[in-house]
Amino acid sequence: MEKKNSLLSLLNLLPLAIRNFLELSTQYSGLLKVILIFCVIGVLSWVLTPSAVALTQIKLSNISYHECPQELAQGAVTSGTTMAANCFIVTGKAQNGTNKTVYDADIFGRIYDANNDSVMQNRTRLGSIDEIPPGDSDFELRISVPANQPLPLKLKQFKAAGFGAQVRK
């Protein structure tokens, strides 16, 4: 008998529970809609985000130099002065280990003369490479060295870093 009474009392409470649930769901329906909209926006922004344009490191190897052809070397001066300068072309291989083309890669390195004095004081950025396809490719870079610096030059710590998409136009 007791079980029957407790079951009956539960059945009597059921309409009250349903009514309370419906009241709460209408009160919070606006909040639920806002939460749902934010969830959809979050998922869409995660799915539709463009790939990051981060720096890609490029390994430079087989670095060497030779004098510029006469038409390039004529009238060469060092930057910021009218001191006579020697013109050189630095060449090497750029190794792009990614499967995408790298754009606007800056070349960094140190150049010393025969006495181990820096040829380009306070400057490690030497130039840039516009485009480096995947794999190995050749590059060259023109530099001007003050004419009073003794040869041969020593090229050290060369590296490059560029972007997965064009940055400069």
Contact status, residue 160 vs residue 107, Cβ threshold 8 Å: yes
pTM equals: 0.64
Task: Indicate if 76 and 153 belong to the same structural domain.
Answer: yes
Residues 104 and 24 in one domain: no
What are the phi and psi torsion angles at 30 (to 5°)? Answer: -65, -45
| Residue 168 lies inside a defined structural domain of this protein | no
Residue 98 resides in a domain: yes
Domain holding 89: CATH number? 2.60.40
Residue 151 domain flag: yes
Q: Is residue 169 a part of any domain in this protein?
A: no
Are 43 and 114 in the same domain? no
84 compared with 11, residue with greater pLDDT: 84
**What does the alpha-carbon distance between residue 113 and residue 116 come to, in Å, rounded to a whole number?**
5
From CA 140, how far away is CA 67, in angstroms rounded?
12
Mean pLDDT of the chain: 82
| DSSP, residue by residue, 74-133 | TT-B-TTS--BEEEEEEEEEEEE-SSS-EEEEEEEEEEE-TTS-BSSTT--EEEEEEEE-
Average pLDDT over residues 97-121: 93
Predicted confidence at residue 164, as pLDDT, reads: 85
- 115 pLDDT band, cuts 50/70/90, is very high
Q: Are residues 62 and 43 part of one domain?
A: no
Which tens digit of pLDDT belongs to each residue from 56-74?
999 999 999 999 988 776 6
7 and 75 belong to one structural domain: no
Expressed as residue numbers, the domain containing 94 is 55-163
- At residue 55 the predicted structure's pLDDT band, cuts being 50, 70 and 90, is confident
Count of domains for the chain = 2
Q: Span 62-87, mean pLDDT?
A: 76
Measured CA to CA, the distance from residue 118 to residue 49 in angstroms comes to 45
Q: Let me know whether 103 and 157 are in one domain.
A: yes
- Looking at the fold, whether 154 and 133 belong to one and the same domain comes out as yes
pLDDT at 30: 73
